Structure 1
Amino acid sequence: MRKLNPRIVVAIIASLLDELLLVVAVVWILPKFGITVPVWLVILLAVMFLFSGSWAFVVVKRKPNLGFENQIGLKGIAVTVIGKKKGLVRIGRQNWAARTDGRDIEPGIEVEVVGQNALILTVVPESIND
């Protein structure tokens, strides 16, 4: 059985608490002050809370974006010529500045990240590491 992500549990609980707060406010708190709320407004607010809760669920379920601290060992594809001068490599959906210590790498060649200096990656053709 798959383990339930704690962030998803928190998102679901937060969404349910939003709905509960809405019901408590409309049914119990507002009438004490003589404020009546039309039924259509209650339904509209409930739909908005459900939408925001479901959107939070989608966002929490996404994989985190890659940070520059964990690029070594990842594979990508050269977008431009990569040599001693910087080129671009695509890892996942992101383009990164990259250099190579060896011969130039042509666009379309699969590469692997072997080092990095801040946001500039050092790559080698993947066939070299196999």
Structure 2
Amino acid sequence: MSAIKIRRSKFNVLPDELDDVLHAMVKDNAGRSLSEMLKQGSPLKNLIGRIVELSMQEEMVEHLGYAPHEHMSAEKQAEERSRRRNNTRNGSSSKQLKTSFFRDLHRGATRPQRELCGAGAG
């Protein structure tokens, strides 16, 4: 059996390797409904999820002006003392809240709720 040669469109702006992967994905899912192709763990769902994730990461880099795990160089620290970042965004460091009421209150900690007694409580 010979392989069918797919003619590349002049409007295709994707690299050939990615286009080949997408073509194989479409071929594997031929005849399936869209709801089947978008089930949890499916290649199409994973692809869409990865595109959204990468887009959100790039949006955050653009918004903040620096990439995750990026530290300021010594020269930049000297130039921008007022904007110095000691805590880069890496998503793994713990944070503590300091307020006038509680010292070192962890964000994730919950306090026991007091019971409110009022009209109708019994």
- TM range, normalised to the smaller chain? 0.3 to 0.5
More strand by share: 1
With normalisation by structure 2, the TM-score equals 0.32
TM-score, normalization by structure 1: 0.31
Structure with greater helix share of residues: 1
Query: Bigger relative contact order, structure 1 or 2, given CA contacts below 8 A and separation 6+?
Result: 1
